[in-house]
């Protein structure tokens, strides 16, 4: 996990940010409802509250093996894809 308060990493991987279109996506509502039902609550937003996340698997020295950028809050990478990428680095 990388916390990127200054946005340097987010810019380097071209991570997206939320806007009106991402907030209005039906899938975003489903993700919010699912998260809320699980008891998850957002506390502090930090300095970049509109920044969307990404999942990146890298190998030495700086090779990007896998990247999945969120299209909306709660749009997480497929875990099977992430594990395949990690296994490819580990072998």
Question: pLDDT digit string (tens) for 21-51?
Answer: 877 777 777 777 888 888 887 777 778 888 9
Structural domain count, the chain: 1
Asked whether residue 2 is domain-assigned, the answer is: no
Instruction: Indicate the average pLDDT of the chain.
Output: 87
Asked whether residue 38 is domain-assigned, the answer is: yes
- CB contact at 8 A, 38 and 23: no
> What per-residue string of b and e applies to 56-71 under the rule 16 or more CB within 10 Å gives b?
bbeeeeeeeebebbbe
Taking the CA atoms of residue 30, residue 82, residue 66 and residue 57 in that order, the dihedral angle to the nearest 10 degrees is 110
Asked whether residue 1 is domain-assigned, the answer is: no
Distance (Å, whole) CA 15 – CA 51: 8
Asked whether residue 46 is domain-assigned, the answer is: yes
**Structural domain range at position 39:** 8-90
Q: What's the rounded mean pLDDT across residues 51-56?
A: 92
Asked whether residue 72 is domain-assigned, the answer is: yes
């Amino acid at each position: 996990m990388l916390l990127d308060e200054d946005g340097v990493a987010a810019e380097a991987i071209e991570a997206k940010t939320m806007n009106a279109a991402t907030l209005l996506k039906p899938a975003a509502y489903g993700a919010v409802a699912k998260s809320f039902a699980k008891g998850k609550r957002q506390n502090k937003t930090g300095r970049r509250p509109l920044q969307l996340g990404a999942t990146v698997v890298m190998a030495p020295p700086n090779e990007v093996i896998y990247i999945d950028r969120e299209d909306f809050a709660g749009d997480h990478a497929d875990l099977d894809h992430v594990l395949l990428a990690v296994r490819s680095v580990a072998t």
